[in-house]
Amino acid sequence: MKTMNNLNKTIPHKTGPLPFALCTLNFALILTLTAGCRNKEVEAFNNLEKDRFLVKTEKAQVRNLEEYILLTGSVKALDEATLYPRVSGKLLKNLLKEGDPVKKDEAVALVERDEVGTVYEPAPVPSTLTGVVGKIYQDVGASVTPQTPIALIVNQTRVRVAVDVPEKYIGKVFLNQNTLIKVDAFPDTSFKGKVYRVSPVVDSRSRNSMVEVLVENADARLKSGMFAEVRLITASRGAALSVPAEALINQDGGDFVFVPANGNFASRVPVRAGIRTDKFVQISGVKEGADIIVSGLYGLKDGSKIKLSEQQAAASQ
């Protein structure tokens, strides 16, 4: 019994400390590996050049540029007429329906005179212009007077778009000025137009002046009431040397761009700016095909160390 008791007492003393030692060893090993990784990260960070800028470049290219004012307005037929009856009575018949072509002086509807004891021939409601029936306002049997609209006639072979031009741009607007019109119904199509009317006054409240643009519409794709985006082209240049707009920097009253020099340095080059669009700007002072820094410009100075982005560097190899 004593032997068994001694054995039971001895076993815990021999086996108990072993797991603790293994845990201590594993923990020390983890600390060593973590410290090693951290040291490598610190070493890599210290090896980086803090003053080197990561940049992207694009080449100066020849493009056709147009400078414009972007405005919005509504499409309206150049010629529109609302037809009214000449006598009072009841609408006897609509002779045409919406979308039907109509000639000038052709009857659109008939009105039965509302006079007791007298019989008259139905009174026609003639069209005052050649076009198409845009809208029929009244149903058969409706009571009408000379103030009741019967139909809307539109001639949409040419349409106009009225836009409000802010006062500061009025000096850039003139008759026969080229324009481009876009509508949601045909997002990939630009319709050409010209300025045909410029208001001689500026609204004192809005500080805008109304300008109307005339657009040929022989295929009738543009409809009265459509929302339109209008670009008034104020200047255009064909074969203009240009760079992305973000590459041009204006500072101390001058314009300049940065180009790579000697492979690893940025060189500031003064340029002269011309036509500007939302994406590009015309410049002179660099040659066609020159690499122009377009990204990584913040804080960049003449002589700063630069490095091309890895993606662009790989593509250039």
Residues 6+ apart with CB under 8 A from 39: none
Successive 10-residue mean pLDDT values, the chain, 317 residues: 44 48 50 56 52 90 92 94 95 95 96 83 95 95 96 95 94 94 95 96 94 94 94 90 95 91 90 92 94 93 86 59
What's residue 73's pLDDT? 96
Contact in structure between 122 and 109 (CB atoms under 8 Å): no
CA distances (Å), origin 198, targets 161, 174, 180, 207, 210: 12, 7, 17, 14, 6
Q: What is the pTM of this model?
A: 0.63
Note the pLDDT of residue 48: 46
- Domains defined for the chain, CATH in brackets: 52-65+238-316 (2.40.420.20), 68-75+157-236 (2.40.30.170), 85-149 (2.40.50.100)
Please tell me the predicted confidence (pLDDT) of residue 165.
Answer: 95
- According to DSSP, the residues that pair with 283 across neighbouring strands are 273
pLDDT on residue 116: 75
The dihedrals phi and psi of 190, each to the nearest 5 degrees, come to: -110, 125
Over its C-alpha atoms, the chain yields an Rg (Å, rounded) of 40
